[in-house]
Amino acid sequence: MEARAIARYVRSSPRKMRLVVDLIRGKSAAEALTLLRLTNKRASKTAEMALRSAIANLQAKADNPYLSPESIVVAKIYVDNGPMLKRIQPAPMGRAYRVRKRSHHLTIVVATKE
């Protein structure tokens, strides 16, 4: 059985989130939560909230609502690009530089070990 959680329109670069996501791909949920808690990246907080949501979705979907995080595995996790906010920053000699504020969508699929 599997369940998923999607965090949409997260205001950070997808490249920064992929660094965090690569740490927990394929790990058990308990180990992934520990890694995210100890990772010194701002994106790890968003990934942890999405992982907790996916675990809760799996427990709600299962017959046994008391599934332990050790019996849950991060089956798939990926980051897609979201919309970009385009802003302008003043530059020398009357020019303007474009600032692209990126966002992303984080998808986490968790499954039980079977």
Where residue 23 sits, what CATH number does that domain have?
3.90.470.10
Amino acid at 105: H
* Residue 34 contacts residue 28 (beta carbons within 8 Å): no
- Structurally, the chain folds into a number of domains equal to 1
Q: Does some domain include residue 96?
A: no
Structural domain of 72 = 2-78+105-112
6-38 pLDDT, tens digit each: 999 999 999 999 999 999 999 999 999 999 999
Q: Does some domain include residue 98?
A: no
Nearest to 13 by CA among 103, 77, 87, 83: 103
The DSSP 8-state label assigned to residue 69 in this structure reads G
Tokens of 86: 């385009």
54-65 pLDDT, tens digit each: 999 999 998 777
76-99 pLDDT, tens digit each: 999 999 999 999 999 999 999 999
pTM of the entire predicted model: 0.91
